[in-house]
Structure 1
């Protein structure tokens, strides 16, 4: 049995695939690399085949096009490793990253070991390592759903290894919806909330490419794909309503959902954004009408944003479009225009996320 299987979902990425697979080839260990070609029409499958000829750890699996989630589920079914990891076909893995994750997982017998990543612009060489986990929690065995930070993590399923037997036992799989996107969202939420034993590292695992124009994060055609992911999380939460941490998971779900919806709102053009702003208001109004929003538990600044959307989604969108942006100065300007001095105080003193 290989110590780990790495799943590489592939679809028309011949421009980026050689660097991705070369970074896997450089990993030292008893691994298998499953190149999952989802019906590519370019030279991607041929590139993967060449790597399989050079290194017996690579295996090419060809399939008809069915989308990201279904492709990764096929990979999970085919994987033979004790642990399973994922590498997107336009990204690059850091040297020795896989061994670092496996060593950490085995040290505490974890179901899940998660590292960090860098935001990478290959054109100009920028590579900015992200630090998402509180320092005092790094390298320790923990139960993620007990900690607020886990609900604020970006759903980077490719910065982890997962114990394969545990994923199967818990039934954790990807949504197979064809043509959808962001299918790492529900997978990561369920994984983090299901395990009683995880470990987090401040070790970069993947150079996460930011300048692939074909990436789903840059596609307006999938404006509502993220909604299906949160529908799936909500379905899963209903099955775990008696969990000792159900209330915390419900709060974490709502905050995570609002964060993701606002991120989606910011990337949409003027033709789609107003409709999506109303979608946010509609879904959270339903929670409020059923008494499912625990307002005192919310971060004050995040609650101010949500209340503003519920009052007038188009006004909120207008203020956000005019003043919101990266950096502390833009955050302060947006807060002042949205909620005055009180909003500024909340924004400057609020929790991350």
Structure 2
């Protein structure tokens, strides 16, 4: 087994993480994907969309720009511990240079989507990351405070509304699908094992019939609130619609996915959910309900190599779970 990137001295002492505690450092690295490039291999080209930033673990990377006459000029050499590509995802702009591995090179990759997850899930960590980035960009020194405040404010409002579900605070279908496709389409040599779980609540219509949609919404919100106790930092939970949920579990085997699915099922089954709402006469009604759930599990590459294929496989397994009596976890065939 290869050495963990957490033990890499260049990474530990990188200026990107210099001000972080060990706990904060571990929280960031949970979002990183390791990738290998051979000597001479292109990492990205000038003008391409920028959706990832890179942290150099081992090897050497050179950045060049096109001078317009067919010639290229080297503008920077990156050594282990350095990072590059961050401005394209911060500004949502094309790459300003071409980066190439000049020897066999290992990097850690932070997806742009995960960069924004850090901003509103771990705002203090994100602030430290942005501060580290701003310190090495002299052109930003006079306006770094305004930039950081504006970016954090934007990340907590516009981006939050665009990628989250207003009722539960979970991610929405769009973010989950984009994140899943981004991970599966990565160009690393080693394909990652990614699990997808689909869930819906058993007989939620009975609660809606008895207590109205407001009661059903309280149940959905309470169920969603318990997911974080089961899921890991890098896992993604989303509400698709109504009482339907989906989960993306990076670097997860089938056995691990089944185990997490069973823990989610048990967590929901063990909930006692208080409801507080008004009846048809306007009287306040306080009661408690419980609910159970079914889950379908699919894992790449066994059940599919694309986002739509994995979601369809997990959804088919979910339907079988319902057919077999509900309150259970079923693996895709």
**Superposition TM-score, scaled by structure 2 size:** 0.32
User: Hey, which of these two has a bigger chunk of strand by percent?
Assistant: 2
Determine which structure has the larger helix proportion and give its number: 1
Q: Normalising to structure 1: TM-score of the pair? A: 0.31
**Which has the larger Rg?**
2
